[in-house]
Amino acid sequence: MSMKKPIYFDYSATTPVDPRVAEKMCHFLTMEDGLFGNAASRSHQYGWDAETAIEEARRNVALLIGADPREIVWTSGATESDNLAIKGVAQFYKKKGNHIITCKTEHKAVLDTCRHLEREGFEVTYLDPEENGLIDLAKLEAAMRDETILVSLMHVNNEIGVIQDVQAIGELCRGRKILFHVDAAQSCGKVAIDVDAMKIDLLSMSAHKIYGPKGMGALYVRRKPRVRLEAQMHGGGHERGMRSGTLATHQIVGMGEAFRLAREEMASESERLRMLRDRLLNGLSDIEEVYVNGDLERRVPHNLNISFNYVEGESLMMALADLAVSSGSACTSASLEPSYVLRALGRSDELAHSSIRFSIGRFTTEADVDHAIKLCHDKIQKLRDLSPLWDMHKEGIDLSTVQWSAH
Amino acid sequence: MAYSDKVMDHYENPRNVGSFDNDDAGVGTGMVGAPACGDVMRLQIKVSEEGVIEDACFKTYGCGSAIASSSLVTEWVKGKTLDEAAAIKNSDIAEELALPPVKIHCSVLAEDAIKAAITDYKSKH
Amino acid sequence: MVYLDHNATTPLDERVLEAMLPYLRERYGNPSSVHAAGREARSALEMAREQVAALVNAHPSQVIFTSGGTEANNAALKGFALGSTAARLVLGPTEHASIRRPAEALGRHGWQVGQVGCDADGVTCAQTLSQAVDDQTRLVSVMWANNESGAINPIAELAAVCRERGVPLHSDAVQAAGKLPLDFAASGLQLMSLSAHKLYGPKGAGALIVDKALGLEPLLHGGGQERERRGGTENVAAIVGFGRAAELAQAELVSRQQQTRTLRERFEQRLSAALPQAVIFATGAERLPNTSFFAVPPLEGRTLIMALDQRGFAVASGSACGSGQHEPSHVLKAMGVASAQAHGAVRVSFGQQNSDSDIERLITALVSQTKQLQGMGAATAWT
């Protein structure tokens, strides 16, 4: 068996830390550089040095989204940011109202948090997206009530890469004086974000989706008009009381550097990724019975989610073992359930099962893409030769009319 | 997901992939499973006048374990009488392929496919 | 600079950095991904889980990785409370803010928060606890060793009291881990919090050790990681670092204890000889071997700390998290230390890289600072 590593096409699950970021992080760890201090130590240089580095990182994160550094709260990742934003708002504003609006295709960090709040007595509306994965603004507006305190919608979907019109949603929420939370884990550093122009009140960010370290995230919390939160992690009163816990200096420095690099390189990088993605799409388009999932226009340049009809998802993953791809969200792909995102788009179980998400990134090359195209052609052919469904399709049988045996 | 070497072998080199003409009186076809459940197996047997399975073939839409289970049973049923073939148990298949608990249903499906093919053959006679 | 604040944080051990680096570079997979890159990260995570479990004699399945000690403490208290009807919670008298503040938050959600007492050394004994636990008590939380004074609580005895009453016991062992032998299985605890960066591991990783019989609601929802007990992509590199740091702490525990205890004893002898007015806190208790908490009346602690910083010594007044406050230490208050002495408190916590010469220089600095400050007649403690 070859020990060669599979080609990585799963940048939406996680990214490698950029070597420039890793280099910077390493200075904030050991005694050698003397920069390992606890930023909460106010009695010596070690603590002050850590604080200085953390504040520089805070400025870099704020700059990428057009925020003030004082509006950035460090967390352990986007999941914590989502939990803090949604539970924090719900608990603080519960006297004002008990209704929250979100969408069925949100990340589990949002959905599971909303489910938890339902058990605590909140009401949650889970909007259905359109077939292309986008939200119909009229449906969103229709779901808004007097008791609605929060709308939580993601900027870019992790599975299908579609970009919601957050600016229009922000206008709608602001007009109704409803707080607007955006899970931007998949969009930070990939799509321009301006929290003021987009009228976003809370925004979740992740470092490891944009070449920073795992275990690091941030939540943007608007100061004007001021958004209040009930803290979810209590303790030493770090982060102005909104999130306690010793700040992991090296992680924060890593996130700051990753966001700084993203700001500088986003424009040129997007162009290159779009070119590679289109090359991949063109290369796969001549396979019969392939379906792109999610809108192709309003979509990040690095994502291609595609279903190969009449082949089964798990055997497809096995066949494509030389490619590190994902079938559905990384967080749920350990289970055999079809992707709930694709199901919400109205895709059949079969097409949802046979979907592959290619997500390309900073270190993907043209040769990688060409290899993937060739491999897909070969393996899809092989699996279809094995597939009774493919035979039936070729014979012109409409599979939806077949009486399947239950099991 | 960790697969056994035997599953990998059958998945990489499936035995007896193909189709027989279902109009042939000596052919029995069993199709079990459903696309929505993630696996469909089609097992075909060719039975001699003495009631012995002379040949078998399959096509499967499903995971590696499902493909391996059906590939394996095409090997096993060949040369068996209908009664002997009908006696093949899913536990034998699961044991041979060292299927993990979450994949036991693949062996159940393969057993069902044998029975369905035999029933189909018998219905023609 | 001489770093003498190892209870606030420790520098990362070079060997730990070495273990972490591959996971910041080429082994970057998401442990939830099923492909090879994901599986590689997953197996690293599981190895770290075994290493952390081994350090405290727990089963690997009892380890829930968190973003640190604060999250572990919050997850213990709130996770337990969410799965129970509001009743009474009893805390130790000298708990860290990451126990006291979540308890206050629970207080706003219908929980009654009680506090058990301690002796003049800050130690809570079984009898004292026994009086504080009533029929309404659903959970008790007492730290294993105190971050400021280093005083060690008799956890097994406290656990026996709790077991008798059928109440689970949580212990914040953030300061104890790596400095004392810990045995979760034998301790009788149901919950225990750990942190990596106090034992030469990285910041941003910690763990909550949970007895499987205890149902906890997750603090972070979403994604189903850590067997549905803590959502969020795992901080693989930091967790790998935590595992390696735990392994080293276990292997080197005795030598580390001896090394820091020798330094601490030497320091305290020299301090008492050079400045007879010095008061050392909690000396009647079993203490963490590396910690010395003292005052040099009538000097004010903050002034002394700043002066020492100018001379290149990093020391603390107590908990780093509370360092911004002018309040005297709540730990000394609980011990019944007079406010004048409490305002003079300085904490020195030794680590692997300290040496005898650090102590000599510290004593020299302390003596000359004392003379200088007293000579100026300034910055004496409140009377």
A74 contacts A46 by C-beta, under 8 angstroms: no
Report the pLDDT value the prediction gives residue C325, as an integer from 0 to 100: 53
CB distance A407–B37 less than 8 Å? yes
Show which residues of A are catalytic: 331
Please list the pLDDT of chain C residue by residue as tens digits (383 residues).
899 999 999 999 999 999 999 999 899 999 988 888 999 999 999 999 999 999 999 999 999 999 999 999 999 999 999 988 999 999 999 999 999 999 999 999 999 999 999 999 999 999 999 999 999 999 999 999 999 999 999 999 999 999 999 999 999 999 999 999 999 999 999 999 999 999 999 999 999 999 988 989 999 999 889 988 999 999 999 999 999 999 999 999 999 999 999 999 999 999 999 999 999 999 999 999 999 999 998 888 888 999 999 999 999 985 544 445 567 889 999 999 998 889 899 999 999 999 999 999 999 999 998 888 877 654 444 43
Q: Where is average pLDDT lowest: A135-149, A252-266, A390-404?
A: A390-404
Which residues, 6+ apart, have CB-to-CB distance to C58 below 8 Å? C52, C184, C185, C192, C209
Report the pLDDT value the prediction gives residue A407, as an integer from 0 to 100: 54
- Domain boundaries in chain C? 2-8+254-376, 14-251
Which residues, 6+ apart, have CB-to-CB distance to C43 below 8 Å? none
Higher pLDDT residue, A402 or B36?
Answer: A402
Overall average pLDDT of the A314-335 stretch: 73
Report the pLDDT value the prediction gives residue C81, as an integer from 0 to 100: 95
CATH classification (class only), C14-251:
alpha beta
Show which residues of B are catalytic: 37, 106
- Angle, helices A78-92/A108-119, rounded to nearest 10 degrees: 30
Report the pLDDT value the prediction gives residue C318, as an integer from 0 to 100: 59
The tens digit of pLDDT for each residue in B87-115 reads: 999 999 999 999 988 889 999 999 999 99
Q: Which helix (H) or strand (E) holds C66?
A: strand C63-66
Q: Residue C317 forms beta bridges with which residues?
A: none
C-alpha C313: how far from its chain's center?
Answer: 22
Instruction: Supply φ then ψ for residue C129, to 5 degrees.
Output: -65, -40
Overall average pLDDT of the B26-49 stretch: 92
Interface residues of chain A, partner chain B, Cβ below 8 Å: 310-315, 318, 336, 348-350, 353, 385-391, 399, 404-407
- How far is residue A246's CA from residue A234's CA, in Å, rounded to a whole number? 11
Which residue of C28, C113, C148 to mutate against A (max A Cβ within 10 Å)?
C28
- pLDDT of A204 strictly over 90: yes
Which residue of B4, B10, B40 to mutate against A (max A Cβ within 10 Å)?
B40
CB distance B17–A385 less than 8 Å? yes
- How far is residue C329's CA from residue C94's CA, in Å, rounded to a whole number? 9
Whole-prediction pTM value? 0.91
Report the pLDDT value the prediction gives residue B3, as an integer from 0 to 100: 83
- pLDDT of B62 strictly over 60: yes
Residue ranges of alpha helices (H) inside chain C are 14-24, 36-55, 69-82, 97-107, 126-132, 155-165, 184-187, 225-228, 236-274, 301-310, 330-334, 339-342, 356-376
Report the pLDDT value the prediction gives residue A34, as an integer from 0 to 100: 85
What confidence category does residue A327 fall into, taking pLDDT thresholds of 50, 70 and 90? confident
Report the pLDDT value the prediction gives residue C51, as an integer from 0 to 100: 98
| Summary count for chain C: helices (H), strands (E) | 13, 12
Which residue of B61, B65, B120 to mutate against A (max A Cβ within 10 Å)?
B61
Cis peptide before A69 (omega within 30 of 0): no
Query: Which residue, among A84, C86, C194, C143, has the nearest Cα to C78 in the 3D structure?
Result: C86
Report the pLDDT value the prediction gives residue A99, as an integer from 0 to 100: 98
ipTM for the complex? 0.94
Residue C180 tokens, joined: 């004392």
Tell me how crowded residue A22 is: count the other CB atoms within 10 A of its CB.
21
Q: Residue A204 forms beta bridges with which residues?
A: A183, A219
Report the pLDDT value the prediction gives residue C322, as an integer from 0 to 100: 46
Q: Where is average pLDDT lowest: A134-143, A326-335, A369-378, C352-361?
A: A326-335
Residue A373 tokens, joined: 């195209």
Please report the residues numbered 95 through 134 in chain A whose beta carbons come closer than 8 angstroms to any beta carbon of chain C.
Answer: 107-113, 115-116
- How far is residue B61's CA from residue A383's CA, in Å, rounded to a whole number? 8
Report the pLDDT value the prediction gives residue B1, as an integer from 0 to 100: 54
| Chain C residues near residue A83 by CB distance under 8 angstroms | 219-222, 231
Percent of chain A with pLDDT over 90: 84
Report the pLDDT value the prediction gives residue C381, as an integer from 0 to 100: 43
Residue A245 has its nearest CB partner, among C21, C68, C323, at: C68
Report the pLDDT value the prediction gives residue C321, as an integer from 0 to 100: 46
Residue ranges of alpha helices (H) inside A296-387 are 313-319, 340-344, 349-353, 366-386
Report the pLDDT value the prediction gives residue C19, as an integer from 0 to 100: 98
**β pairing state of A217-221 and A290-292:** unpaired
**β pairing state of A202-206 and A217-221:** antiparallel
Overall average pLDDT of the A352-368 stretch: 94
What confidence category does residue A336 fall into, taking pLDDT thresholds of 50, 70 and 90? low
Which chain A residue has the Cα nearest residue C238?
A215
Query: Which residue, among C327, C369, C364, has the nearest Cα to C345 in the 3D structure?
Result: C327
* Domain C2-8+254-376 matches domain C14-251 at the CATH topology level: no
What confidence category does residue A174 fall into, taking pLDDT thresholds of 50, 70 and 90? very high
CATH classification (class only), C2-8+254-376:
alpha beta
| CB proximity B1 to A under 8 Å | yes
Average pLDDT, chain B: 94
